[in-house]
């Protein structure tokens, strides 16, 4: 097994290679739908769903315009088929887009992506549902305007962003959630025979269905077009400031109020926090910087595989020290490289000032010619690289402060137990504003996002598995956090209907828009509506259940169901030696 020092040298070597401009092109992501003579399989960008099962569908339809989309829905409705929609990206972790395997059709918007119309005088942009975020932003910026809110990752479609409540970070103005900047949208919904079995409805903000449709998870119909509000072009000025984490939570609210696009990244094992002071500046401010976030840069596939192999060896040999060495190296590299911010091609110091369209989102690893390349996104399963869980919890601010206190207590029992998460960017903390959307946030909220190691084999327990299960249960059970709809493991959605005051109104709108349940999904039935459960042997290992007995963990490998160390009501799979 490689020593921690060798692992550190390897990481530093890979960082140098990965940052070399020679390797900036990357293999484009694989399409999410693959078909053969027997049918089609839908995958997400990570190559595995939460339950590890495949999403198999008999047929896929790829409309190129709104009428073709309406016709696809009408044909499905006429034949009593269930239908779900997927974009050309598919970065959702839950099976939001997976229809039942029989008597169903999958509708892809991958080719419904040509219309982007900017109304300069009205300061709006109207786009087809399948348009990619980067294409939209570039067209808007070319017209001398800016889209204020966006996701941090640009490999998403307009329809997908809106449907899942995806966001950036801001408590200012309309806030950081993209759906709160929607002026109007069009949606294709089922209809009776007299209306051709499907129809297009146009919804303006204030219409009865609008607040249900703006974050609809694909359950009301299929979004066909979206109109977003814009503002005059502006630039952003970003500075990262690294500090000890002793009392960082006391500064959170002040930072969010003083800086329009602020966020924080907490590295608990390193006792460090990085404040991102991120502000709007005039369009004539000096600077032509870009945000090329380190985690979204292309990596050689051989590098991805080597990093994964090292991490896997550390996990399986229970080598916490090795993970801590690489976590420290990762933090230092991020600090020295400005976390991917660049002034004129490289990072030369703060502040980094650049146009909104080049600073608000990133994803250089997904852009390349169709020709084969040696590089790819770090998580692309073809590169056998990073494979991880992503937990995203959304808190009321007072509850978040209590949560941080609990996590610090757990961390202080054995700080090296938290090194694993610091290899994956630590805890990212963002801010999103109260929304009128029924499945949006009911209050100004704080978002916590963290990634952590996932085993290749679902029956393999993980080093410090109990720690991450306790943190997960602290968030969603003790402190009542709401799950991000497009992320998280199954257990995060337990009792979710009680966490959204508008949930019953959303169900009423869903029944009005789709009374026959054409767009109902197995994921919704099983996970959100609570009609299904998974309590088989080993179900807690991948977050399909909270353990209630040892068999839900892995007794044969020494993992038993035990109470949490700080949150005593938690039930976690802990490694025991006797």
Which strand (E) or helix (H) includes residue 572?
strand 571-575
The predicted model gives 441-463 an average pLDDT of 97
For residues 24 and 18, give the distance between their C-alpha atoms in angstroms, rounded to a whole number. Answer: 8
| Per-residue model confidence as pLDDT tens digits over 50-90 | 999 999 999 999 999 999 999 999 999 999 999 999 999 88
Structure tokens at 378: 């770090």
Q: What is the mean pLDDT of the chain?
A: 92
Cβ burial of 243 (10 Å; 0-12, 13-18, 19+) is: middle
Alpha helices in 418-515 (DSSP H): 419-422, 465-473, 503-513
Cβ burial of 21 (10 Å; 0-12, 13-18, 19+) is: exposed
pLDDT at site 14: 41
Cβ burial of 480 (10 Å; 0-12, 13-18, 19+) is: middle
Structure tokens at 200: 């297009």
Is the pLDDT at 12 greater than 50? The verdict is no
| Per-residue model confidence as pLDDT tens digits over 103-151 | 999 999 999 999 999 999 999 999 999 999 999 999 999 999 999 999 9
**Beta pairing, strands 482-483 & 388-395:** antiparallel
| Per-residue model confidence as pLDDT tens digits over 416-443 | 999 999 999 999 999 999 999 999 999 9
For residues 1 and 127, give the distance between their C-alpha atoms in angstroms, rounded to a whole number. Answer: 52
- Residue in 382, 414, 444 with CA at minimum distance from that of residue 174: 444
The packing angle between helices 301-316 and 4-19, to 10°, is: 160
- Reduced to 3 states (helix: H, G, I; strand: E, B; else coil), residue 43 is coil
pLDDT at site 29: 83
Is the separation of the CB atoms in 238 and 275 below 8 Å? no
pLDDT at site 25: 54
The predicted model gives 486-496 an average pLDDT of 95
Q: Lowest-pLDDT range, 177-181, 447-451, 525-529?
A: 525-529
- Reduced to 3 states (helix: H, G, I; strand: E, B; else coil), residue 400 is helix
pLDDT > 70 in the chain, percent: 94
The packing angle between helices 465-473 and 397-413, to 10°, is: 160
- Reduced to 3 states (helix: H, G, I; strand: E, B; else coil), residue 415 is helix
Is the separation of the CB atoms in 492 and 483 below 8 Å? yes
For residues 118 and 136, give the distance between their C-alpha atoms in angstroms, rounded to a whole number. Answer: 9
Q: Model's pTM, two decimal places? A: 0.94
pLDDT at site 535: 79
For residues 100 and 456, give the distance between their C-alpha atoms in angstroms, rounded to a whole number. Answer: 26
pLDDT at site 505: 97
Is the separation of the CB atoms in 121 and 103 below 8 Å? no
pLDDT at site 177: 97
Alpha helices in 414-455 (DSSP H): 419-422
pLDDT at site 577: 79
Buried b (16+ CB within 10 A) or exposed e, 199-212: bbbebeeeeebbbb
- Residue in 265, 272, 270 with CA at minimum distance from that of residue 293: 265
pLDDT > 90 in the chain, percent: 87
- Residue in 432, 425, 470, 479 with CA at minimum distance from that of residue 451: 425
For residues 308 and 303, give the distance between their C-alpha atoms in angstroms, rounded to a whole number. Answer: 9
Is the pLDDT at 555 greater than 50? The verdict is yes
Backbone angles phi, psi at 124, to 5 degrees: -140, 165
């Amino acid at each position: 097994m490689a020593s921690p020092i060798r692992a550190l040298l390897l990481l530093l070597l890979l960082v140098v290679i990965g940052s070399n401009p020679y390797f900036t092109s990357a293999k484009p992501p694989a399409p999410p739908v693959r078909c053969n003579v027997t049918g089609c399989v839908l995958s997400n960008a990570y190559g595995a769903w939460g339950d590890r099962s495949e999403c198999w569908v008999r047929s896929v339809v790829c409309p190129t315009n709104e009428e073709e989309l309406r016709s696809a829905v009408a044909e499905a409705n006429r034949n009593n088929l269930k239908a779900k929609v997927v974009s050309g990206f598919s970065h959702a972790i839950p099976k939001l887009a997976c229809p039942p395997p029989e008597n169903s059709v999958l509708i892809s918007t991958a080719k419904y992506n040509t219309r982007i119309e900017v109304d300069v005088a009205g300061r709006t942009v109207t786009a087809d549902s399948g348009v990619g975020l980067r294409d939209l932003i570039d067209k808007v910026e070319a017209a001398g305007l800016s889209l204020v809110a966006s996701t941090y990752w640009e490999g998403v479609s307009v329809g997908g962003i809106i449907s899942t409540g995806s966001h950036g970070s801001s408590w200012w103005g309309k806030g950081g959630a993209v759906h709160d900047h929607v002026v109007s949208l069009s949606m294709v919904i089922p209809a009776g025979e007299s209306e051709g079995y499907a129809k297009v409805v146009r919804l303006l903000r204030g219409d009865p269905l609008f607040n249900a449709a703006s974050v609809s998870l694909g359950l009301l119909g299929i979004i066909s077009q979206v109109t977003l509000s814009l503002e005059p072009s502006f630039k952003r000025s970003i500075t990262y400031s690294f500090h000890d984490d002793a009392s960082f939570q006391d500064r959170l609210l002040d930072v969010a109020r003083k800086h329009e696009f602020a966020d924080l990244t907490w590295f608990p094992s390193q006792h460090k926090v990085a404040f991102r002071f991120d502000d709007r500046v005039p369009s004539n401010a000096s600077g032509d910087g870009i945000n090329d976030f380190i985690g979204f840069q292309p990596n050689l596939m051989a590098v991805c595989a080597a990093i994964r192999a090292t991490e896997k060896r550390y996990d399986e040999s229970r080598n916490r020290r090795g993970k801590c060495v690489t976590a420290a190296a990762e933090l230092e590299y991020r600090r020295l490289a400005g976390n991917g911010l660049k002034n004129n091609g490289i990072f030369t110091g703060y502040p980094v000032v650049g146009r909104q369209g080049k600073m608000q989102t990133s994803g250089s690893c997904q852009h390349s010619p169709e020709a084969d390349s040696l590089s790819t996104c770090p998580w692309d399963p073809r590169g056998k690289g990073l494979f991880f869980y992503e937990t995203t919890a959304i808190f009321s601010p007072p509850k978040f402060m209590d949560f941080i206190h609990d996590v610090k207590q757990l961390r202080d029992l054995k700080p090296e137990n938290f090194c694993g998460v610091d290899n994956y960017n630590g805890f990212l903390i963002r801010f999103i504003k109260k929304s009128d959307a029924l499945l949006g946030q009911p209050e100004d909220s704080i978002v916590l996002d963290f990634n952590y190691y996932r085993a290749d084999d679902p029956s393999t327990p993980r080093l410090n598995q109990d720690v991450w299960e306790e943190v997960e249960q602290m968030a969603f059970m003790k402190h009542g956090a709401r799950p991000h709809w497009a992320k998280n493991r199954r257990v995060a959605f337990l009792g979710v209907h009680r966490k959204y005051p508008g949930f019953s109104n959303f169900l009423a709108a869903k029944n009005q828009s789709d009374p026959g349940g054409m767009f109902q999904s197995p994921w919704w039935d099983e996970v959100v509506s609570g009609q299904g459960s998974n309590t088989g042997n080993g179900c807690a290992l991948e977050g399909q259940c909270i353990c209630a007995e040892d068999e839900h963990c892995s007794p044969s490998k020494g993992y038993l169901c035990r109470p949490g160390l700080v949150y005593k009501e938690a039930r976690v799979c802990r490694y025991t030696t006797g």
